[in-house]
Amino acid sequence: MKDDYLWDRSGEPDAEVLRLERTLGRLRHRPRPLELPRSRPLPRWRLHPTLAAAAVLVLMLLGAGVWLALHRSADATTQRLIIVGPRPVSLVGLYRRAESFQPSVGDQGKQNADVRSDAERASRQRRRLEAGQAEIILARRARERREERMMRESEEAAEKLMLALRYASSKLNLVQRQIQVNKEHGPAS
Amino acid sequence: MKPILNRSIKLICCASLLMLCAAGAALGQGARLQLASLDRFESIADRTVDVTVDQKVLQLARPFLQRSKDPNKQKINEIISEIEGIYVKHFTFEKSGQYSQADIEPIRSQLNNPAWIKIANVRSKRRGQNLDVYTQVNGNKIGGLAVIAAEDTELTVVNIVGPIDLEKLSELEGSFGIPDLYIVRDRDDKTQKE
């Protein structure tokens, strides 16, 4: 048997080959133009006025929040300084509370720990304040002592000067008196 | 001839240099007298008062006087406004003859100077007083004052450096806050009564 049919479709084909050809022939290539899928246009940003207004509002709210937070923290610092400065009694009270603090069990534990830490902080502030006040007092005393010493030295110098002037004045007057006596009574010697 | 001329020129130069140095020293000294020669009386004298008021003391005293409301102190402040220094040495001896006029000669020799003018001189053998007042005149102003009061049992030397008003200074006696020595005045009064 020649298998020219399989090679170039010449000659007599085999029945089995024809059957296969018919079966697979349905799937053979049929040339047709290329069909590309239709591309959808990309969505373009559109400015929605309501959305923009909302965004501006949100930004403004955020800005106001940040400013308020900063402002409040600055106020809190100032207030703390005011408390530390002229009213150390409250800090003393907290310090005493810390000293007399007894730990308890149960739900009060956390609260007590907070109170204790506050009191310790207050006592530290009190000690710092006391140290600062002591320094100020010492500096003031040193300045007072220095001024007092200068005043004393100045007074001593003035006394010394007055003593010297008294001698000078006294001797000048003595000469004047003697000249006057000599004028009135003639030569004394 | 030439060596003699050279020697003469050298001598003249040396003399000029010495004179310049002396003039410079005299100018530098001003009205300040050297009173160190009196220091030896400290061991002999019964009582010694040595007061040195220099620029530093004057600077210290001025604020005190300026703050004071006492008119006398205000007057003192005016008097010392231009003063550069006041130097006083006062010795009180137990008996007369413990010092001689020769002991004061070093002070007098400093005042035997054209810059100083003797404005008053009182000699009293009966009272044993020898009082001299010298002033140094700079232009129309008194640039310094020296008073030597040598008495029987007392010796006082006062030297004021700088311009001073003598009238105002005389007015000050007895007007200070500190008590005055009336010994001399009392004795003078007694002598006048006699």
Residue B21 has a pLDDT of: 46
Helix or strand run (H / E) with residue A123? helix A108-185
Distance CA B188, CA A26 (A): 167
**For residues A92 and A100, is the Cβ–Cβ distance under 8 A?**
no
Residues of B in contact with A170 (CB under 8 A): 173, 180-181, 184
In the structure, what pLDDT confidence band is assigned to residue A169 with cuts at 50, 70 and 90? Answer: confident
- Shortest alpha-carbon distance between residue B19 and chain A (Å): 34
Look at residue A57 in the predicted model and tell me its pLDDT.
94
Q: Which residue has the higher pLDDT, B104 or B177?
A: B104
Q: Of A171, A183, A188, nearest to B191 (Cα)?
A: A188
Q: Residue B37 phi/psi, 5° resolution?
A: -65, -20
Supply the pLDDT for residue A24. 92
Residue B11 has pLDDT above 70, yes or no: no
Cβ of A10: how many Cβ atoms within 10 Å? Answer: 10
| CB burial readout A113-151, b (16+ within 10 A) else e | eeeeeebeebbebbeeeeeeeeeeeeeeeeeeeeeeeee
pLDDT in tens, B48-100: 999 999 999 999 998 888 888 888 888 888 888 889 999 999 999 998 888 88
pLDDT band at B180 (very low <50, low <70, confident <90, very high): very low
Q: What does the pLDDT read at residue B58?
A: 93
Q: Rounded distance, CA A49 to CA A30, Å?
A: 55
Instruction: Encode pLDDT of B97-133 as tens digits.
Output: 888 888 999 999 999 988 899 998 888 888 788 899 9
Q: Residue A179: what pLDDT? A: 81
The verdict on a CB contact (< 8 Å) between A175 and B158 is no
Q: What is the pLDDT of residue B189?
A: 46
- The residue ranking higher by pLDDT, B2 or A189, is B2
Question: Which ipTM did the prediction report?
Answer: 0.74
A63, two tokens: 């800005």
Hey, is the C-beta of A154 within 8 angstroms of any chain B C-beta? yes
Mean pLDDT, residues B33-54 taken together = 91
More confident of the two residues A174 and B8: A174
Shortest CA distance from A189: residue in chain B: B124
Least confident of A120-134, B121-135, B163-177: B163-177
Give the C-alpha distances (Å, rounded to integers) separating B68 from A113, B79, B135, B179. 64, 15, 30, 18
- Ramachandran region of residue A106, left (φ > 0), alpha (ψ -120 to 50) or beta? left
For the cut 50, the answer to whether the pLDDT of residue A72 exceeds it is yes
pLDDT band, residue A101 (cuts 50/70/90): low
